[in-house]
Amino acid sequence: MSTATNPALQLNMSQLLSRALEAEMGRDDRIVVFGEDVGGLGGVFGATRNLQRRFGERRVRDTPISEMAFTGLAVGAAQAGLRPVVELMFVDFIGVCLDQVYNQAAKNAYMSGGAVSVPLVLRTAVGLIGAAAQHSQVLSATFAHLPGLKVVMPGTPGDGPGLLLSAIRDENPVVFLEHKLLLKQRAGTARHPGAIDALDQPIPLGQAATVRSGGDLTIATAGWAVQQSLEAASVLADDGIEAEVVDLRSLVPLDRETLTSSAARTGRLLVVDEDYLSYGMSGELIAVVCEELWEHRPRVARHALPDVPIPASRPLEEAVMPNPRTIAEAARRLVLA
Amino acid sequence: MLDLEVAYRSMVRMRAVEEAVQLGVISGEIHGEMHVGIGQEAIAAGIEPLLTDDDAVVSTHRPHLHALVHRVNPVAMLAELFERDGGLCHGKGGHMHLFSPDRDFMCTGIVGASVPIALGYAFARHYRERAGLAVAVLGDGAANIGAFAESLNLAALWRLPVVFLCEDNGYGISVARDAATAGAIERRGEPYGIPGRRVDGTDVTAVYDAAEQAFGQARAGQPALLVCDCYRWSGHYEGDTDHYRAQAEKDAAMTAERDPIQRLRARLIAGRANEDELTEAEAAERARVAEWVAEARAKPSPNPADALSGVFV
């Protein structure tokens, strides 16, 4: 099917994800879905729509607002042979149940010497959407910092299903970060199609996608910032600056090869991150590249959310969020300096 | 059915295991924090006849007795406690993080975290319409973590086959139960429709009788809560100075009448048991444990290079 006529282009990422989940649940009866409002409502962002109607309350369960209990329940159920897909409505809520994620799910395979595995997926919505400091974070680096969790973040709606299939089929706990703006974005309006023509094919975790080629700098990023960076790249192209944009797709495992080989070619790396600046993904990617390419003395820069809680009012929110203009400015500084 | 002589032998084994572990701490073979369950044996022994191969047990930072009665391989457990390779977790878990998936046994060092995880084991049975229940072991201190309240609600709501088994040894590290816990733990399930009972956890018969009812309810999809009174005969951990408990309190609590093993022994003798035969049985059980310990200690040390592998499966 050619991209232009693919009806999936009319669907947003939440619709694409719910279809992928539905298909995978049809194939694998070990999959159960838990979370707040995942049943009748189909998820506050719609990513579990139709699932309860198709599979019943036995497999698709609204939970009470008890994140500690239902994430812990998912850990036990995974160890007992099921494959829970848990929705944490907003990633910001991880504060009330992190223990079960980082002390139990993430560690049990290692602590058991490989005797147990915890194949669960924690799906959660991230990113700025006008909901202020407690409902707008990304927190990808928080999870990526903790050993034992895979961390996946689609950068375009078309990659959502393939990445989700890999996450569900993985034997390890996977934190699946869904940007709210991507959940609402129709695949056809995205700045790159991703795997929209191969939605039933799992996308291996740890495989970045070079979504734009260019020789002047590498922009490495993930999530909604991929779309923003591509927009910035087209602005830069008008100025004669060609940016290569690498969509990491997963932070853990990290595709070091694609990252460093691109940075080696361009000699410049800009990391764009909607998560906080300090101790974050931007510093980590730059460290990886500098350690690997120190002989080439790569020039590096980071553009991330400043270290402030995210404000509510639109002008204030826009002042902290990386956007195509600020990304292009950061890229120009790096290239022209 | 509770066979008192079987229970006696079982408790003697538990005591011998914990005493061997204490010696391992003194010798330095066990270098980490260690929590033993001396004084709490009758609780594990009381549920032992009720546990089946279909059941799961999720225990705490004081887990050895529950592992033994759920028939986790004792040599493999001891090898893990003695920080050897070739045990349950190849030296990566240690005594608070024992995993024996062949028995659906695990424990966790985070107080209260065992409770929701046990719900997951119960849910898997419920979902698969398979026999079996999950035992969520917790201490009196864990009764105050929010996850316990959340789990009572969820278990009742979803009618999960789970028994909440609370070992109330009177202390959360140094803080006495009454200084940390308002009201009666056994009544905390009532608002959710989960019946609770409190029994003397040093009396194996009392534990068994109450557990029989609780297990029966849970197997029928009605979660149950059982609180067992006991006393922590050791410090919180081996090496704990334990200065926070008054000597008079300890003297009053740690008597032959309140030692679950001596108490049962006296009862067996008052019945028709032959004292010499009991002594022989005790020696035989202690010899058995000594063999387990020797076998565990003979296993090799882990290879330091293995520390970096196995984060992902």
Q: What is the mean pLDDT of residues A83-96?
A: 97
Q: Residue B41 and residue B79: Cα distance in Å, rounded? A: 21
Which residue of chain B has the CA closest to A64?
B154
Do the Cβ atoms of A151 and A252 come closer than 8 Å? yes
Residue B265: in which H helix or E strand, if any?
helix B260-270
Q: Residue B52 and residue B58: Cα distance in Å, rounded? A: 14
Q: Is residue B300 part of a domain?
A: no
Q: Residue B274 and residue B278: Cα distance in Å, rounded? A: 6
Q: Which of B120, B144, B152, B151 is nearest to B56 (CA)?
A: B120
pLDDT for A5 beyond 90:
no
Q: Residue A323 and residue A234: Cα distance in Å, rounded? A: 13
Opening angle at CA B194, ends B189 and B197, nearest 5: 75
pLDDT for position A267: 98
> Distance, in angstroms, between A113 CA and closest chain B CA?
4
Which residue of chain B has the CA closest to A81?
B124
All residues of chain B having their beta carbon less than 8 Å from the beta carbon of residue A78 are 120
Three-state secondary structure readout of B122-145: HHHHHHHCCCCCEEEEEECHHHHC
Choose from B60, B123, B133 for mutation: most chain A CBs within 10 A: B123
Does B117 contact A109 at a Cβ distance shorter than 8 Å? no
Residues 57-86 of B with CB under 8 A from A: 58
Do the Cβ atoms of A126 and A178 come closer than 8 Å? yes
pLDDT for position A13: 98
Q: Does B172 touch chain A (CB under 8 A)?
A: no
pLDDT for A3 beyond 70:
no
All residues of chain A having their beta carbon less than 8 Å from the beta carbon of residue B99 are 108, 111-113, 115-116
Q: What single-letter amino acid sits at B166?
A: C
pLDDT 10s digits, B211-252: 999 999 999 999 999 999 999 999 999 999 999 999 999 999
C-beta contacts of B143-146 below 8 A and 24+ residues apart:
B143/B181, B143/B185, B143/B188, B144/B180, B144/B181, B145/B111, B145/B112, B145/B115, B146/A68
Phi, psi of B198, rounded to the nearest 5 degrees: -120, 130
Q: Residue A122 and residue A333: Cα distance in Å, rounded? A: 38
Q: For residue A282, give both structure tokens.
A: 């931007």
With a CB cutoff of 8 Å and minimum separation 6, the contacts of A316 are: none
All residues of chain B having their beta carbon less than 8 Å from the beta carbon of residue A61 are 158
Q: Does B213 touch chain A (CB under 8 A)?
A: no
Q: Which of A185, A266, A261, A197 is nearest to A226 (CA)?
A: A185
Residues 77-136 of A with CB under 8 A from B: 77-82, 84, 99-100, 103-104, 107-117
pLDDT for position A2: 53
Q: Is residue B312 part of a domain?
A: no
Of A66, A100, A103, the CB nearest to B154: A66
Polymer length in residues for chain A: 337
Look at the block and give the residue holding tokens 């504060």: A95
With a CB cutoff of 8 Å and minimum separation 6, the contacts of A46 are: A12, A14, A15, A18, A183
pLDDT 10s digits, A105-146: 999 999 999 999 999 999 999 998 889 999 999 999 999 999
Does B106 contact A78 at a Cβ distance shorter than 8 Å? no
pLDDT 10s digits, B291-307: 999 999 999 999 999 99
Q: Residue A299 and residue A258: Cα distance in Å, rounded? A: 17
Q: Is residue B305 part of a domain?
A: no
Cα dist from B66 to A20, A35, B36, B160, whole Å: 42, 32, 11, 21
Q: Residue B133 and residue A80: Cα distance in Å, rounded? A: 12
Domain annotation for chain A: domains and CATH numbers: 7-189 (3.40.50.970), 209-336 (3.40.50.920)
Catalytic residue among A24, A36, A87, A135: A135
Q: Is residue B303 part of a domain?
A: no
Q: Which of A187, A273, A220, A328 is nearest to A336 (CA)?
A: A328
Does B311 contact A171 at a Cβ distance shorter than 8 Å? no
All residues of chain A having their beta carbon less than 8 Å from the beta carbon of residue B164 are none
The rounded mean pLDDT for chain A is 97
Of B91, B104, B117, the CB nearest to A72: B117
Residues 83-102 of B with CB under 8 A from A: 88-94, 97, 99-101
Q: Is residue B194 part of a domain?
A: yes
pLDDT 10s digits, A267-306: 999 999 999 999 999 999 999 999 999 999 999 999 999 9
Q: Is A136 strand, coil or helix?
A: coil
> Distance, in angstroms, between A61 CA and closest chain B CA?
10
Of A68, A114, A171, the CB nearest to B146: A68
All residues of chain A having their beta carbon less than 8 Å from the beta carbon of residue B60 are none
Beta strands in A92-202 (DSSP E): 121-126, 150-152, 174-179
User: Pairing mode, if any, of strands A174-179 and A150-152?
Assistant: parallel
pLDDT for A98 beyond 80:
yes
> Distance, in angstroms, between B305 CA and closest chain A CA?
13
All residues of chain A having their beta carbon less than 8 Å from the beta carbon of residue B313 are 109, 114, 117, 171-172
Q: Is residue B204 part of a domain?
A: yes
pLDDT band, very low/low/confident/very high, at A337 (cuts 50, 70, 90) = confident
Question: DSSP secondary structure string, B8-43?
Answer: HHHHHHHHHHHHHHHHHHHHTSS-S-----TT-HHH
pLDDT 10s digits, B64-115: 999 999 999 999 999 999 999 999 999 999 999 999 999 999 999 999 999 9
Q: Is residue B89 part of a domain?
A: yes
Among this protein's residues, is A135 annotated catalytic? yes
Query: Roughly what angle, to the nearest 10 degrees, separates helices A324-336 and A224-238?
Result: 60
Percent of chain A exceeding pLDDT 90 equals 97
pLDDT for A74 beyond 80:
yes
Does A104 contact B108 at a Cβ distance shorter than 8 Å? yes
Choose from A110, A117, A172, A175 for mutation: most chain B CBs within 10 A: A110
pLDDT for position A32: 98
User: Pairing mode, if any, of strands A243-247 and A209-212?
Assistant: antiparallel
The count of domains in chain B is: 1
pLDDT for position B32: 86
Q: What is the mean pLDDT of residues A176-205?
A: 97
Q: Residue B86 and residue A99: Cα distance in Å, rounded? A: 28
Does A76 contact B93 at a Cβ distance shorter than 8 Å? no
Q: Residue B104 and residue A308: Cα distance in Å, rounded? A: 45
Choose from B81, B126, B127 for mutation: most chain A CBs within 10 A: B127
pLDDT 10s digits, B14-57: 999 999 999 999 999 999 899 999 999 999 999 999 999 999 99
Which residue of chain B has the CA closest to A148?
B311
Do the Cβ atoms of B81 and B35 come closer than 8 Å? no
pLDDT for A95 beyond 80:
yes
pLDDT for position A128: 87
Q: Is B273 strand, coil or helix?
A: coil
Does A111 contact B93 at a Cβ distance shorter than 8 Å? yes
Q: Which of B16, B80, B15 is nearest to B42 (CA)?
A: B15
Neighbours of A173 (CB within 10 A): 30
Does B313 contact A61 at a Cβ distance shorter than 8 Å? no
Among this protein's residues, is A67 annotated catalytic? yes
Catalytic residue among A24, A67, A87, A284: A67
Q: Does B147 touch chain A (CB under 8 A)?
A: yes
With a CB cutoff of 8 Å and minimum separation 6, the contacts of B116 are: A68, A69, A70, A71, A72, A73, A75, A76, A100, B147, B150, B151, B154
pLDDT for position B77: 98
pLDDT 10s digits, A22-50: 999 999 999 999 999 999 999 999 999 99
pLDDT 10s digits, A146-173: 999 999 999 999 999 999 999 999 999 9
For residue B270, what are the domain limits? 4-171+179-292
pLDDT for position A129: 84
Does B134 contact A66 at a Cβ distance shorter than 8 Å? no
Give the CATH number of the domain where residue B265 resides: 3.40.50.970
pLDDT for position B168: 98
Which residue of chain A has the CA closest to B93?
A111
